């Protein structure tokens, strides 16, 4: 089932985003479980995560070596999120060519 592969990647992408949000919450001294955060704080963490992901994606396009230099927990999560996103794009591109 081809859709199963895409669905699996989409779930992994969402889960990695949630990990990034949890790490940001922990770095701010908050409870890392997003379910225990206020809606406002959860939204702020999600916005910060989105901003960092956009920065990471832009930097990896400009500097391919950046992914090799992912050493902090946040950078590793951003790298993994980016890689899953690339797998999703590759799978969608492959399906368009069929």
36-62 per-position pLDDT tens digit: 778 888 898 899 999 989 888 877 656
- Better-scored residue on pLDDT, 67 or 13: 13
Report the chain's mean pLDDT, rounded to a whole number: 83
Total-model pTM: 0.80
Q: From the DSSP assignment, how many helices (H) and strands (E) are in the chain?
A: 3, 0
Q: How many residues does the chain have?
A: 98
| 11: enclosing H helix or E strand | helix 2-27
DSSP 8-state code for residue 49: H
């Amino acid at each position: 089932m081809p859709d199963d592969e895409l669905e699996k990647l989409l779930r992994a992408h969402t889960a990695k985003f949630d990990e990034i949000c949890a790490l940001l919450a922990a770095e701010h001294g908050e409870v890392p479980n997003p379910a225990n955060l206020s809606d406002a704080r959860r939204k702020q963490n999600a916005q910060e995560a989105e901003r960092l992901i956009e920065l990471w994606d832009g930097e990896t396009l400009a500097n391919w070596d950046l992914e090799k230099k992912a050493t902090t927990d946040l950078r590793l999560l951003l790298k993994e999120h980016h890689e899953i996103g690339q797998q999703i794009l590759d799978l969608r591109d492959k399906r368009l060519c069929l």
